[in-house]
Amino acid sequence: MQPSIDTILICEGIYALFQSHRNIRINRALDIGSGSGFIGKFVAAHAPGEKPLAVELVDVDKTALEYAQSAEFNALHHGKNGRDISWKFHVGCAAKLLDGVQGKGYDLLVSNPSYVPTPDEVAGGAALNSGANFWEGTGLLMHLLSLVIDGRPATAPGSHLVLGFTSLTLKSKLVCTLLEEAERKGVSVQILREKEVGYKVWYAGDGVRHLLASPSETLCKQKIGSCEYFVGCTKNSQPRFATSLQHQMSGYHWHVAYIIHVHKENSGSR
């Protein structure tokens, strides 16, 4: 898939993270659900560090990885300050890949996973990844959060997770519970980017009723864990932050995109 607004926002968030945390050193990074590989290439170009950098891409679509290994992908061989870059490609489930990591884990995990909760997830049901719609289900998103919160082997000590989701995601009770658990366990959650974007309801498998913000969620941010977020989407043609351009875009519901940085000092043990 071609880069979307989510992809651009994640790249902006990654760059902001690298600029604001001068002590970060990335030696092994994984782009999860890599698609075109745009995010992986951005990490390769900007990741700070002195040692050789290993960048890995994983996607369930073998076509995406075939492209990433083609000449057209134009993979970088040298990164910031001339550091050497190596590439590795995985076809399959990212969760299984991460659960199977042995030895040193990843310093940086980056993903814009499926983030639209199903009606069952909003009602309090278990997180899942829908087999019917690639954009539905928060199972992978929650799995990635848990990796850092619990300090599992896939994450190197002090690793960083840059994750994209939207205010739709926060209609899931389990996602909110996990963000609150992060605060209790001393895991840092920082909002790197926040931007209201149009939501194409006609793509959604189960419609939008279960994702609509309540009156209070529409007007005010809600504290979830250590951060404050807007929750849910607004009704058709009623953006929260109205601009002249948004008013011209009739037919859209509106949600707020978030790029967050999740970090646990010295997480995990070897």
**Any domain includes 62:** yes
**Strand ranges (E), 84-170:** 85-91, 106-111, 155-166
- Does some domain include residue 170? yes
128 inside domain:
yes
Low-confidence ranges of the chain (pLDDT < 50): 267-270
Q: Would you state the pLDDT for residue 199?
A: 87
- pLDDT for position 164: 96
- Helix, strand, or coil (residue 67): helix
CA distance 133 to 148: 26
CA distances from 106 to 16, 20, 140, 141 (A): 20, 20, 17, 17
Q: What residues contact 183, with CB distance under 8 A and at least 6 apart?
A: 189, 225, 226
* pLDDT for the residue 270: 33
pLDDT at 128: 73
List the one residue out of 27, 47, 36, 40 whose CA is nearest residue 1. 36
Q: What is the pLDDT of residue 269?
A: 37
* pLDDT computed for residue 149 by the predictor: 94
Domain contains 210? no
CATH number, domain of 66, equals 3.40.50.150
pLDDT of residue 267: 41
Domains: count for the chain: 1
pLDDT digits over 40-96, tens only? Answer: 999 999 999 999 999 999 999 999 889 999 999 999 999 998 999 999 999 999 999
Is 151 inside any structural domain? yes
* Residue 115 located in a structural domain: yes
* Burial (CB count <10 Å: 0-12, 13-18, 19+), residue 43: buried
> Is residue 207 domain-resident?
no
Domain membership of residue 47 (yes or no) is yes
Range(s) of the domain holding residue 151: 5-195+258-263
